A and B are shown apart, each in its own frame.
Chain A
Amino acid sequence: MENAAYVGLSRQMTLRRELDVVANNIANADTTGFKVEQLLLGAEVGERARNAFVRPGVSFVLDNGVGRDYGQAALEQTNRNLDFAIEGEGAFFKLNDGAGEAYTRDGAFTLDPEGRLMTEGGAAVQGDAGDIILDRSLGEPAVAADGTISQNGEPVGRLSVVRFDVLAALEKGGDGLYHNASNAVAIEANDAQVRQGMLEGSNVNPILEITNLIEIQRAYESVTRMIENANDLSRRSVERLGRVG
């Protein structure tokens, strides 16, 4: 009898988690380089609580993973010459955050007092030859589409733009950073282009997220009603069957 309640409960738990994911998407609707996420659901065939031989098993809802859409977001012009955006899906700037390599799509960089190109969070941006050091007195840095940085017409370095064959290997670390969670090796992304004076926005689609929000709420309400009904049914049967005469 409790099967319906348990199946309903499994859906309620995933719906709450879905809401958490949607809430995070909406909170990051204005975050530089943010990639939208979605909870991936699957059916988990389980044993019934009773009557296992007579009827087939029941299917519970289970969240299998979070899918990330690495699609390109719109570029916003900032006119700041240390702001960079990548045009090209799934490509990242390579960073060194002290603990090792990290990757980001958020190209709002700055210089530290020694002239090293850094993220706002303090990770050093990596070029072909390690850290990128700029001497501002040589002139304003200009960056070409392939990442080559030049000052006064002289090339002084090149931004490393890399990608992974399997993007699922990346783990989000907060602060716009991604970490490599597998043994996959980053390869140079030759087709991706660097745009100077621009930042990539977030690829969250607000209309879609609000629709998801409504859907989650309604589904939650109807599952709750189903649990209520199942509960009602068992209560009434206990009442009726227990009546004598």
Chain B
Amino acid sequence: MRALRTAASGMAAQQLNVEVISNNIANMNTVGFKRQRAEFQDLLYQNVERMGAQSSAQGTVVPTGIQIGAGVKAGSVYRITDQGSPTQTGGRYDLAIDGRGYFQILLPSGETAFTRAGNFSVNGEGQLVTDDGYAVQPNISIPQDAVDVTISKSGQVQVTTAGETEPSVVGQLELASFFNEAGLEAIGDNLLMETAASGAANVGTPGEVGFGQLLHGYTEASNVDAVSEISALIIAQRAYEMNSKVITTADQMLSVSAQVKS
């Protein structure tokens, strides 16, 4: 019976939906996290009776035909990259991007990863790094005798050293943007990798056309909305239950037929 497999595909789809929603909820307080959404598409259809087929020698045609669908599949799970609200942290090296763009991070493998999480720190050499100690690109070195660090909206890093009154510029931060942000591949640790689908990174200074501005002393909160995630969870659970109901019905119908005695 086709209905059994159709309902099973519905249950599998809702299970995936719950997995995506639970990951969103789990990352509600992750800096720079972008929520994901599972999008579903119908599976192929079997043409039992094709529409437009001749139904008599007089040239009458079947107006609607019979097409029976085989269930549902996950079309894609995509990231929704709308802005998360900036949260004031007062952190000396905390940065939030207001608008489009990603920070570039040099991985130990030599590859460049991209992130929206701007909760940076400095390492033993005074270099600006992520929580995992990966260097932010281009390299920014903060001198040891720095009293105060200011990062402007356009990414200029200024340092006031002891005994100096004028701040000096020690570096310029850059952002990367992509044609298709949804095509970036998440590798965990808040990092994203460039793929063939995302297109090549386009690097520019913050505040330029097509790039966001930097907010110093803020981090970007995740854009997960608790209320909509919980209601999505309820809908997913109910849909799962309904599909299981179809399986029960199909099973009972088969058993009724099986019990016909001869």
Question: Does B bind A?
Answer: yes
> Please, how many residues of chain A have a CB less than 8 angstroms from a CB on the other chain?
71
As a 0/1 sequence over residues 66 to 91 of chain A, the CB contacts with chain B under 8 angstroms (1 = contact) are: 11100000000011111000000000
A169, B75: Cβ atoms under 8 Å?
no
Q: How far is the CB of B60 from chain A (nearest CB, A)?
A: 12
Interface residues of B: mostly helix, strand, loop or mixed? mixed
Q: State the CA gap A113–B184 with chains docked (Å).
A: 11
B68, A227: Cβ atoms under 8 Å?
no
Q: State the CA gap A17–B41 with chains docked (Å).
A: 21
A19, B42: Cβ atoms under 8 Å?
no
Q: State the CA gap A51–B261 with chains docked (Å).
A: 27
Interface residues of A: mostly helix, strand, loop or mixed? mixed
B40, A32: Cβ atoms under 8 Å?
yes
Chain B: CB-nearest residue to A83: B80
A29, B6: Cβ atoms under 8 Å?
no
Within 8 A of A (CB), among B1-49: 1-4, 6-7, 9-10, 13-14, 17, 37, 39-45, 47-49
B64, A168: Cβ atoms under 8 Å?
yes
Q: When A16-B253, A115-B179, A121-B41 are in contact, do A206 and B75 touch as well, CB less than 8 Å?
A: no
B81 within 8 A of A: yes
> Please, how many residues of chain B have a CB less than 8 angstroms from a CB on the other chain?
74
B147 within 8 A of A: no
Q: When A19-B253, A28-B69 are in contact, do A169 and B51 touch as well, CB less than 8 Å?
A: yes
A188 within 8 A of B: no
Q: State the CA gap A67–B65 with chains docked (Å).
A: 9
Q: Pick from B105-113, B148-156, B185-193, B197-205 the stretch touching chain A.
A: B197-205
Contacts of B71 in A (CB 8 A): 23-24, 27-28
B162 within 8 A of A: no
Contacts of B246 in A (CB 8 A): 19, 22-23, 26-27, 213
B42, A28: Cβ atoms under 8 Å?
yes
Contacts of A34 in B (CB 8 A): 42
A63, B66: Cβ atoms under 8 Å?
yes
A174, B45: Cβ atoms under 8 Å?
yes
Contacts of B13 in A (CB 8 A): 27, 30
B57 within 8 A of A: no
Q: When A26-B246, A30-B239, A66-B66 are in contact, do A136 and B253 touch as well, CB less than 8 Å?
A: no
Q: When A26-B243, A171-B51 are in contact, do A121 and B70 touch as well, CB less than 8 Å?
A: no
Picked from B42, B49, B72, B260, the residue with its CB within 8 Å of the CB of A172 is: B42
Q: When A139-B209, A168-B51 are in contact, do A220 and B253 touch as well, CB less than 8 Å?
A: yes
Contacts of A140 in B (CB 8 A): 100
Contacts of B2 in A (CB 8 A): 20, 23
A128 within 8 A of B: no
As a 0/1 sequence over residues 28 to 55 of chain A, the CB contacts with chain B under 8 angstroms (1 = contact) are: 1111101001011000000000000000
Q: How far is the CB of A69 from chain B (nearest CB, A)?
A: 12
- Please report B residues at the A interface, Cβ cutoff 8 Å: 1-4, 6-7, 9-10, 13-14, 17, 37, 39-45, 47-52, 62-72, 75-76, 78, 80-82, 100, 177-180, 182-183, 196-200, 202, 209-210, 235-236, 238-239, 242-243, 245-246, 249-250, 252-253, 256-257, 260-262
A-B interface, 7 closest residue pairs, ranked by CB to CB distance from nearest: A27-B10, A65-B64, A113-B199, A137-B210, A24-B69, A23-B3, A23-B6
